[in-house]
Amino acid sequence: MRSARPKVLHRVAGRTMLDAVLDAAAPLGPARIVVVLGAGRAEVVATLAGRAVETVVQEPQNGTGDAVRAALPALGPAGGPVLVLSGDVPLIRTDTLAALLACRAQGDLACAFLSFTPPDAGDFGRVVRDRAGRVRGIVEAKAATAKQNKIAEVNAGVYCFEAGALAAAVAGLSPNRTSGEIYLTDAVGALVRGRHAVDVVRADDWREAWGVNTRRDLAAAEEIERRRALERALDTGVTVVDPSTTRIGPRVTLEPDVVLHPFVCLEGTTRIAEGCEVLPFTRVADSELAPRAVVGPHTDIEGARIGERARVGPYARVRPGTVLEEDVRVGNFVETKEAVLKRGVKALHLSYLGDAEIGADANIGAGVITCNYDGVAKHRTTIGAGAFIGSDSQLVAPVTVGPGAYVGAGSTITEDVPGEALALTRAPLKVKEGWARDRKGRKP
């Protein structure tokens, strides 16, 4: 990868490769998940926060068979099937893993593993079969004969073992004479020689079993995941105006009659309800859009909830903690953060609304700022329902403007304003008659 970052932390479609593998395994049901760590483990552990996983350390890193040996004590004596996954196979799908589990269970197998047939077998381990088509073992490409290297079917590095058979097979593994490493692939051959039942599940799409080893692989995986997401969206009933410029993350949920315009990027855990429209050059991350909301163009939304029929943009920035209720209008060059805008609020031009709660149908004029930070702590601003905040006003938090109150344009509000009141802090207007004429007369 030519990188200081651990390989499994490189991202495909916005999530790490390790996250992609864990996400694929998560829906399979209650399980103990053990992540085997080696080089760069401190960085990997930091990304696992919040996940129900255990970690073990393989030291030294002495091959895949040794990695499984390190993990087995953490699984305990409960038994059951043991699914072994590679952290650099980010395109693996839950349905494929479920098929692997079903194959092992239905055949009462000691092991079922995943194979695929790529256009170029390259360095993948070859699946060796006898004349009857039964699996005899897996041979690493480096150790394969010339005849074996012509085998098209290769090992994906994804296995489902019966727990007892796995423990026995791994215990008997020896280091490879060439590399000195202990290969999990040798466990398959050991089970066959011990007359245990072993079978294969072939991946429907060879690409999902493909391991990422280079930056080129990473870019190719990104494109495959992007295309998958587009196909899911189109099959759901989404209109994608220009598929070649649209990015949809794997955790994004879309409902029918959503319209996505060119250069839209949907990231993280995002949900977009029916009838929404996302206009060009807009990014939405970890957010929810309620039915018939319209956002963009050139808008950035992150960690927010957008209500029904709300309209955001163009050129708006909606930051984490923002809640825009139904029929809210947030216009060009407006920024919000930790702000709740109740039904029907309008903030259409050039404003910053941070740490604020704004009541229903309030109007926020151009250039309004909630001054929420005093250099040490953040403070909240509360604006009542139906209030009118005139243009170019500053509300110095903590402060409350009551329902139906007016703040005159150009005011700096440092104290609470009662409901239905008018607050002004302007200096008196001075007009000097003839001043401009007299000034011109004094010019040399």
Please identify every residue annotated as catalytic.
349
**206 in the Ramachandran plot: left (φ > 0), alpha (ψ -120 to 50) or beta?**
alpha
Cα separations in angstroms, 275 against 219, 287, 301, 411: 32, 16, 18, 40
Residue 396 · residue 379 · CB < 8 Å? no
Query: CB-based burial of residue 379 (10 Å sphere; 0-12 exposed, 13-18 middle, 19+ buried)?
Result: middle
Q: Is the peptide bond before 291 cis (omega within 30 degrees of 0)?
A: no
Closest CA to 65 of 141, 210, 166: 166
Query: CB-based burial of residue 354 (10 Å sphere; 0-12 exposed, 13-18 middle, 19+ buried)?
Result: buried
β-pair partners for 160:
83, 112
CA distance 173 to 27: 32
Residue 98: which H helix or E strand, with range? helix 94-106
Pairing of strands 283-285, 300-302: parallel
Cα separations in angstroms, 331 against 222, 306, 365, 396: 33, 14, 11, 22
What SS3 state is found at 259? strand
Q: At what angle do helices 163-171 and 185-193 cross, to 10 degrees?
A: 100
